[in-house]
Structure 1
Amino acid sequence: MKRVILLVAFGASSVQGRSALQNFDAMVRERLAGLPVRWAYTSLLLRERLTQARQKSDSVVKALNRLTFERFDEVAVQPLQTVGREHAAVCAAAGEVAAGGGIDCRVGMPLLTTAADVQAVARAIVRHLPEQRNPAEDVVFMGHGARYAAVALYEDLACAVRNLDEHVHIGAMNGATGLEKILSALSSNRVWLMPLLSVVGRHALQDMAGEHKASWRSRIEADGRQCVPVLKGIAEYDGFAEIWLGHLEDLVQSFTMG
């Protein structure tokens, strides 16, 4: 059987973001040597920019159709997502192409899926806190958020992290614990602010660390505290990358098991 890996990311336009994805690509090629690796991007804006730059800019459906044309039999689709509705969209795209026949498309799980994932992500968060941070200083992580049942995963993660370090707080822009609730729990004069996002993009640069009054940085500073943003996506840290890699390895193994 002819098998291939398709990695799916929202995308990144910055040098730092592209470098993070390239590093993950290298990790996948080393861990699953012998399997070709391709990419697809869920951001329409990014795909348009890549097209203008004459670079490969496949959506999930376009990438899968291309792989079908190249006569691959099995596609292991691994999204670099945390949790939420984007994963459902990737599954729908894979199902659409698979329904056409001739190719077996299977989609790996996002970062937060199982109770074991929650504990692993909590350990990765504590492992990758800023080296300059004083243990008594608060650290706030900003995620994108989720809806419905997935919201509980953010709450479970916040609880798991608090059990490891009571000064680390997990929040999200949408559908989960917001910044207002976190502000009331802060106790240190200096607060570290980090993205719970795969790469540094618009959300991290503007919604998290931006200077406009609605950003998380500005709101923490308006609360009378010094805020130190750390502009580094979680895909840049080995602890998080290993969780995605584990899901991908499980996915590839599922083809062998039938």
Structure 2
Amino acid sequence: MHSFIHSVCALFLLFLLCQPAQAGDNPDADRQAVVLAAFGTTVPKALPGILNIRDRLQRQYPQTPVKIAFTSNIIRRIWQGRRGDAAFITANPSVPADVYTVQGPLATIANLQDQGYRTIIVQPGHISAGEEYLDLVAAIDGLNSIRTIKPKFRPFEKLAVGRPAMGTAGEQHPYSEDLALIARALADDAVQAEKANAALLYMAHGNTYMPSGSAYLEFASIMNRLYPQVKTYIALVEGYPSLDDTLPLLEHAGVSKLLLKPFMTVAGDHTVNDMAGDEPEAWKSILSAKGYEVMTVAKGLGEIDAFADVYLHHLQQTATDHGIVLH
């Protein structure tokens, strides 16, 4: 009797082993992940601008790992150097462990691929389609150019890159719609400025070598259309329009009071020093010296849930565009 049972079990096992593999039998076939690739920040208090975005993406798709990556080489090296600084770690208990080991997008993607994740979406955490974003796209394009003798050995099933908050050029997802999405997400800024009877002035980063100013000015125009009770302006640390370009506009409009906020994912070094610092060259000091009453808000856009969800919106559209179902 026992021999008969053993024979039946052996035959059943052999039957299972001889069946053709189904898609679900391959543990790597449906494994997918998201990489949130942001510029990064060295300021611990500014990290929520990135972590809040990561957390909101993760809550939306709990079965899909969301890993952070920093595109700035300098910022990564600083965090990695802090791993051995016990005093710094003790003084900053809110910093997650994975920030100390943060890698660039290429290394993060490679690690995920090595772990069996072959469908990966890279969601930029950048504001505009500037230098950092374009370099990221170039890296992803390079990975997607890999061709193997046998297609099944290609490193990725799908590797896609999303768009920054302010969108990109093209017909599929008009950038103007993304600008309007951001403006609606920042409705509370207009409310805060109106309550203070102040104009709203954003400090954006920009780039000296890229003609990106028109998108920022268009965003300000949308803000003024949506919230006409508040005058909204935007100036860039690098490129046009600069603060010097914006000062005559403030004077012409008769502005006397300003709510000054960063138009950046994180309230990092630019916010702490260049915007709200006490040095003479800080925007707060320059504006105060010209007679403006200035209120500063040192809060990164990524800390605002509605703005963080702009990246979630972009991620969802990128997944749909590439036939990827996130879980």
Residue in structure 2 matched with residue 131 of structure 1 by the alignment: 192
Q: Distance in 2 between matches of 1:81 and 1:128?
A: 20
| Alignment of structure 1 residues 187-198 onto 2, 5 Å | 187-198=254-265
What code does the residue aligned with 1:90 have? L
Q: TM-score, normalised by structure 2?
A: 0.73
**Per-residue Cα deviation, 1:98-124 (whole angstroms, up to 9, x for no partner):** 333412321111011111111122222
Residue in structure 2 matched with residue 174 of structure 1 by the alignment: 238
Compute the RMSD of aligned alpha carbons.
2.1
Query: Does structure 1 residue 158 correspond to structure 2 residue 220?
Result: yes
| Alignment of structure 1 residues 162-241 onto 2, 5 Å | 162-163=224-225, 164-165=227-228, 166-186=230-250, 187-241=254-308
**Per-residue Cα deviation, 1:37-59 (whole angstroms, up to 9, x for no partner):** 11110122221122123321201
Q: Distance in 2 between matches of 1:36 and 1:124?
A: 26
Deviates more, 1:120-129 or 1:41-50: 120-129
Q: 2:138 aligns with which of 72, 92, 97?
A: 92
**Per-residue Cα deviation, 1:173-230 (whole angstroms, up to 9, x for no partner):** 2222111232223234321110000001111111111222222111111211121111
Residue in structure 2 matched with residue 15 of structure 1 by the alignment: 44
What code does the residue aligned with 2:155 have? G
Q: Distance in 2 between matches of 1:148 and 1:154?
A: 13
Q: Is the 8 A contact 2:70 2:76 kept in 1?
A: yes
Q: Kindly name which structure, 1 or 2, has the bigger radius of gyration based on alpha carbons.
A: 2
Q: Is the 8 A contact 2:70 2:105 kept in 1?
A: yes
Point out where structure 1 has 5 or more consecutive residues left out of the alignment: none
| Alignment of structure 1 residues 5-44 onto 2, 5 Å | 5-44=34-73
Q: Distance in 1 between matches of 2:104 and 2:298?
A: 26
Identity %: 23
Aligned length: 258
Residue in structure 1 matched with residue 121 of structure 2 by the alignment: 76
Residue in structure 1 matched with residue 22 of structure 2 by the alignment: none
Deviates more, 1:158-167 or 1:127-136: 127-136
Query: Post-superposition shift, 1:130?
Result: 6.5
What code does the residue aligned with 2:183 have? A
Q: Distance in 2 between matches of 1:159 and 1:132?
A: 16
Residue in structure 1 matched with residue 82 of structure 2 by the alignment: 53
Point out where structure 2 has 5 or more consecutive residues left out of the alignment: 1-29, 84-99, 147-153, 168-174
Q: Distance in 2 between matches of 1:44 and 1:217?
A: 29
Q: TM-score, normalised by structure 1?
A: 0.91
Q: Distance in 1 between matches of 2:194 and 2:177?
A: 27
